[in-house]
A and B are shown apart, each in its own frame.
Chain A
Amino acid sequence: MKIHNYLMMSMGVALMLVSCGQQNQSSNGALSSSAAEKVYVAPGEQDEYYAFLSGGYSGNLTVYGLPSGRMFKEIPVFSQFPTSGYGYSEETKPMLTTSHGFVPWDDAHHPDISQTNGELDGRWIFINGNNTPRIARISLSTFETEEIIEVPNSAGNHSSSFITENTEYVVAGTRFSVPIPQRDIPINQYKSNFKGSLSFISVDPEHGHMDLKFQLLMPGFNYDLSHPGRGKSHGWFFFTTYNTEEAHTLQEVNASQNDKDFIAAVNWKKIEEYVNNGGGTMIPANYAHNLYDESTHMATTTMKKEVLTVDPLKVPGAVYFLPTPKSPHGCDVDPSGQYIIGNGKLSADLTVHSFDKMIAAIEGEKFDGEAYGIPILKFEDVLAGQVKSGGLGPLHTEFDGNGNAYTTFFISSEVVKWKLGTWEVIDRKPTYYSVGHLMIPGGNSRKPFGKYVVAMNKITKDRYLPTGPEMEHSAQIYDISGEKMELIYDFPTHGEPHYAAGIPADILAPKSQKIYRLDENKHPYAVTSPTGSKVVREGNEVHVYMSTIRSHFTPDNIEGIKVGDKVYFHITNHEQDFDVPHGFAILGQNTSELLIMPGQTKTSVWEPKQVGVWPFYCTDFCSALHQEMQGYVRVSPANSGVELKWSLGE
């Protein structure tokens, strides 16, 4: 009987094994094409890459995970952000100061992660504000904007914010040429009066602090996009140009007449040397430099009053023009630094220039004339090859580190994979629809992580459930680990992502900050001990030194405030526990709420206009007693004699 049972059992086991094997076989077939499994990040698991997508007209930067496409955070950069109080709190308002006053919005385009030796180091991410030219630096340990510098003499800050391979400079080029210095002249005197500035902003290797080192004043073209040389071409920077016609009206026609525009090759090392030896002309300027201090939790603005300009003709051998067909848009440099790719957006073909050939042509002085005194190299002398793509409207190119390049085609809505050196097209896949930029993590560095490419599209149409006339843009993720690209996911993106930057999670995640240390809080109005809360009147101004901890404010009853007072609530979050922010809002506040991270101090101004007793409360569901986290402020008439007093638990 026993033997019989064993037999039955072992047969059972064998059957199970067989059926398992069969199941595996059949699902193996499915697995090789299972897009779902490739993007599925199971609950509790984490993504392999961070992706930072610019928000375009949202002015901000959004953080996503790859391959899941899940959005983790929106980092406020150039726009007021009521969610956290960025740009509303007294501490962060100076971040948005410019020479034009408070500018609470911008058009954020091209994020770029700091590099060391041409590889991503994950210290900071930079992004440009296009409309009121600015460059921002965001910490990749706090994921907060730490610094914004305005770029004078620039307009349409578009060929920005790309960094050199040791983060020596973050470079910002102007898309629109303007009179430099700005002055009152007729627009039709564009030619020879308007100039294009290319700004080299140095980055302090320790703190990341930015300083506008010099501006190269170039002919009045449109400087569209740029990328640094790397490896052998380190020390050079490449900018695409259009409107070499120097049209000032109806550019869509008038700036599309020349068969070829240029890629400007700038030897910034040479100009740096010139500037370090006292070269250049200091001219008056007025631009804001806004710096956030993590220890005081406050931003300050410094207005800078002059800028060093460089006339390219004064530095022989510093700038050359490489003829490039059809109003080139994207300007991308391969991981080796050898190939400079100009994407002629009005053509079907890609133009690839060779760095070695360019150097040889310069050394051989084989010029094809000049433009405003800047030597033009012969197209044939610098050309490495052309990619006959069969697509239309090439825009941007990224690299996988395995000798392949991936180019987006706006008009024909596709990504085309091609081989560097042979220029043959390997694969093409449609995008949905009208793709702009694409991004491979590290895809514009010496060391790309060629596993996924994200295509960011301009038009959404039917990809998601309709949400009225206005819809989010759409992005697609392709697996590029094989010979052919495979579309594996489609997800909506916030704002209008132009460019993006990706980085392996294992570089950033371990150093992501969890709290701010209360014992390092140097905010002048911080309450760092539980007994330090107080209310101080200085004429019409009242300063409330308030602290929060689960689940109460100290103090939570305040009397003696009068109509016409300007009440500053300086709130310090005493939590030292990860992910326990407290919020603050008071009825009738003419500004946003505050969201205060553990150990942080933020300030909101309230100008009560009506007599009464007005409540304030915590806006972030912090704890089981969150609903009880509230308080009252008694507001008396302006002439009242009610004494200032405050309390908790009395």
Chain B
Amino acid sequence: MKKASLLMIIGPLFLLGLYVFPLWNIMLGAPQYPDPLGLNIHISGLKGVNEFDIQNIDGLNHYIGMQTLPKPEEMWEFGSFPIVIGTMVVLGVVIGILGYLKKVNYKWFIGWFILMSIMGVLGMYDFNEWLVDYGTNLDPNAIMKLTNPDGSPMTYKPPLLGHVKMLNFDVTSIPSTGAWLMFAGMMLTLAAAFMGWKNSKKQN
């Protein structure tokens, strides 16, 4: 149980990477943007991959009536996500320490993992909701109002994951360093739970 608890202490600490590294990355390349524009999504706000990318994405998007990218204070998520992540890290580490002191068993580890997974799925759902709003809630007076072949208005929701061709832009959306660290950390807590479970079977 000692090893498992140590893993349970280390695993949540990986989430601290989210304070430094972006969670998600969306790149927009086009013929006239051989160096693509890029958007890094941090838990605390959006940042351009290069200094002026946000301004330039907003500049291009105004032609098709998209809203400007939100500033940190314009979305509650950017205020609460850092608190949620911080809370989960503390909670995970405390569970790990308590496990080390044999005050709690592996089930608490699983509990943390499940809670974190639910949070993650909710986070993705929320992120996707924003993408839908960002890509479809268009200015009715947009300069260019384009339609699909079937006559429906064209919308510009960036993909949650993967690549989409959007007008002249190739849009690629993938998890970034922060997400991979979070994933690795969660896997460690899962391993901790598994080891704790094996241990408990041995003792029985």
User: B-contacting residues of A (Cβ < 8 Å)?
Assistant: 515, 549-550, 575-578, 623-625
Whether B56 contacts A577 by the Cβ 8 Å rule is yes
Whether A576 contacts B55 by the Cβ 8 Å rule is yes
- The CA-CA distance from A578 to B143 in the complex, in Å, is 23
Whether B55 contacts A625 by the Cβ 8 Å rule is no
7 smallest beta-carbon distances between A and B, as pairs? A576-B52, A577-B56, A576-B55, A550-B59, A625-B143, A577-B52, A624-B63
| A–B Cβ pairs within 8 angstroms, 16 of them | A515-B52, A549-B59, A550-B59, A575-B59, A576-B51, A576-B52, A576-B55, A576-B56, A577-B52, A577-B55, A577-B56, A577-B59, A623-B63, A624-B63, A624-B144, A625-B143
Which residues of B (112-168) have their CB < 8 Å from a CB of A? 143-144
- The CA-CA distance from A550 to B63 in the complex, in Å, is 9
Closest A residue to B34 by CB, please name it.
Answer: A44
- Chain B residues near A549 (CB-CB < 8 A): 59
- Chain A residues near B51 (CB-CB < 8 A): 576
Closest chain-A Cβ to B58's Cβ sits at a distance in Å of: 10
- Chain A residues near B143 (CB-CB < 8 A): 625
Which residues of B (11-61) have their CB < 8 Å from a CB of A? 35, 51-52, 55-56, 59
- Chain B residues near A575 (CB-CB < 8 A): 59
Whether A625 contacts B56 by the Cβ 8 Å rule is no
Closest chain-B Cβ to A440's Cβ sits at a distance in Å of: 32
- The CA-CA distance from A578 to B37 in the complex, in Å, is 11
Interface SS of chain B: helix, strand, loop or mixed?
mixed
Closest A residue to B56 by CB, please name it.
Answer: A577
- Chain B residues near A578 (CB-CB < 8 A): 35
Closest chain-A Cβ to B55's Cβ sits at a distance in Å of: 6
Closest A residue to B51 by CB, please name it.
Answer: A576
- Chain A residues near B35 (CB-CB < 8 A): 578
Closest chain-B Cβ to A380's Cβ sits at a distance in Å of: 62
- Chain B residues near A550 (CB-CB < 8 A): 59
Residue among B52, B56, B143, B144 facing the most chain A CB atoms (10 A cut-off): B52
Contacts A576-B55, A623-B63 known; list 16 others, CB within 8 Å.
A515-B52, A549-B59, A550-B59, A575-B59, A576-B51, A576-B52, A576-B56, A577-B52, A577-B55, A577-B56, A577-B59, A578-B35, A624-B63, A624-B144, A625-B63, A625-B143
- The CA-CA distance from A578 to B56 in the complex, in Å, is 10
- The CA-CA distance from A515 to B59 in the complex, in Å, is 16
- Chain A residues near B52 (CB-CB < 8 A): 515, 576-577
- The CA-CA distance from A575 to B55 in the complex, in Å, is 9
- Chain B residues near A577 (CB-CB < 8 A): 52, 55-56, 59
- The CA-CA distance from A568 to B179 in the complex, in Å, is 53
Closest A residue to B32 by CB, please name it.
Answer: A579
- The CA-CA distance from A444 to B55 in the complex, in Å, is 45
Closest chain-B Cβ to A636's Cβ sits at a distance in Å of: 32
- The CA-CA distance from A575 to B52 in the complex, in Å, is 9
- Chain B residues near A625 (CB-CB < 8 A): 63, 143
Closest chain-B Cβ to A331's Cβ sits at a distance in Å of: 45
Closest chain-B Cβ to A573's Cβ sits at a distance in Å of: 12
- Chain A residues near B63 (CB-CB < 8 A): 623-625
Closest chain-B Cβ to A210's Cβ sits at a distance in Å of: 33
Closest B residue to A628 by CB, please name it.
Answer: B143
- The CA-CA distance from A549 to B62 in the complex, in Å, is 11
- The CA-CA distance from A313 to B52 in the complex, in Å, is 61
- Chain A residues near B55 (CB-CB < 8 A): 576-577
- The CA-CA distance from A28 to B63 in the complex, in Å, is 53
- The CA-CA distance from A495 to B119 in the complex, in Å, is 69
- The CA-CA distance from A12 to B135 in the complex, in Å, is 53
Closest chain-B Cβ to A168's Cβ sits at a distance in Å of: 37
- The CA-CA distance from A515 to B55 in the complex, in Å, is 14
- The CA-CA distance from A575 to B56 in the complex, in Å, is 8
- The CA-CA distance from A251 to B51 in the complex, in Å, is 61
Residue among B35, B59, B143, B144 facing the most chain A CB atoms (10 A cut-off): B59
Which residues of B (67-95) have their CB < 8 Å from a CB of A? none
- The CA-CA distance from A515 to B56 in the complex, in Å, is 13
- The CA-CA distance from A83 to B63 in the complex, in Å, is 29
- The CA-CA distance from A19 to B122 in the complex, in Å, is 61
- The CA-CA distance from A577 to B143 in the complex, in Å, is 21
- Chain B residues near A576 (CB-CB < 8 A): 51-52, 55-56
Closest chain-B Cβ to A581's Cβ sits at a distance in Å of: 14
Closest B residue to A623 by CB, please name it.
Answer: B63
Closest chain-A Cβ to B112's Cβ sits at a distance in Å of: 44
Closest chain-A Cβ to B123's Cβ sits at a distance in Å of: 31
Closest chain-B Cβ to A352's Cβ sits at a distance in Å of: 49
- The CA-CA distance from A549 to B56 in the complex, in Å, is 10
Closest B residue to A625 by CB, please name it.
Answer: B143
- The CA-CA distance from A544 to B14 in the complex, in Å, is 55
- The CA-CA distance from A576 to B52 in the complex, in Å, is 6
Closest A residue to B144 by CB, please name it.
Answer: A624
Closest chain-B Cβ to A517's Cβ sits at a distance in Å of: 9
- The CA-CA distance from A623 to B60 in the complex, in Å, is 9
Closest chain-A Cβ to B48's Cβ sits at a distance in Å of: 10
Closest chain-A Cβ to B30's Cβ sits at a distance in Å of: 12
Closest B residue to A576 by CB, please name it.
Answer: B52
Closest A residue to B62 by CB, please name it.
Answer: A550
- The CA-CA distance from A578 to B32 in the complex, in Å, is 10
- Chain B residues near A624 (CB-CB < 8 A): 63, 144
Closest A residue to B37 by CB, please name it.
Answer: A577
- Chain A residues near B144 (CB-CB < 8 A): 624
Closest A residue to B55 by CB, please name it.
Answer: A576
Closest chain-A Cβ to B102's Cβ sits at a distance in Å of: 57
- The CA-CA distance from A625 to B55 in the complex, in Å, is 18
